[in-house]
Amino acid sequence: MMIIFDYMNMNENPLPSTTPTSPSDLAKRIRNFLIVIAAVILSVAVFLGVRTDATSTSLPQLAEASIPVDVALSNGKPTLIEFYANWCTSCQAMAPELNEIKQQYAEKLNFVMLNVDNSKWLPELLKYRVDGIPHFVYLNQKAETIAQTIGEIPRNILEANLDALIAENPLPYTQASGQVSAFNSPLTLDKSSTSDPRSHGAQVN
């Protein structure tokens, strides 16, 4: 038996071949890929920026949302007063967590914020002997001073004090103190009434 190959047909129907990619097509693909990558990076950056703006907390915002001091002293709830200043780095550092704590305890506590740069609060500055900030004052339901702490305080310590304040128990961390932003207090006291010298950032009991 003889097998005869049809060379003519084979020549007329050659096997398909792959067309090589031209340099211009390769450049277009690289450009499109880079555009996609840039779009993804930009989208992530915008998302993170919006999220940061939404979750950031400023001291003026906290102060504006705080309870007026006269209301806090008369509504029968325990109160946390914070003496602060917008330039105080320790106050700024605590602001996000304080905002969360405020929301957590909003139904049980008054949160009052007094700016030490506002001369309106001179009587309170004098009463609580404020010479370093942040300065926290804990008041019971009768607006009586229970304790005072100064400086940047860890959240768990602050929450423990607030839980005790609400339950009318002794505060566990009355001697707590942290990083303080000292300021030139505008208070002028009679030397006869200040036998114990005070220094900026000292613990107030």
> Which active-site residues does the annotation give?
88, 91
Say how many C-beta atoms besides its own lie within 10 A of residue 118's C-beta.
11
125, 187 contact by CB (below 8 A): yes
Residue with the two structure tokens 């992530």: 44
User: 189 φ, ψ to 5°?
Assistant: -110, 150
Sequence-distant (6+) residues with CB within 8 A of 81 are 69, 72, 112, 113, 114, 124, 128, 136, 137, 139
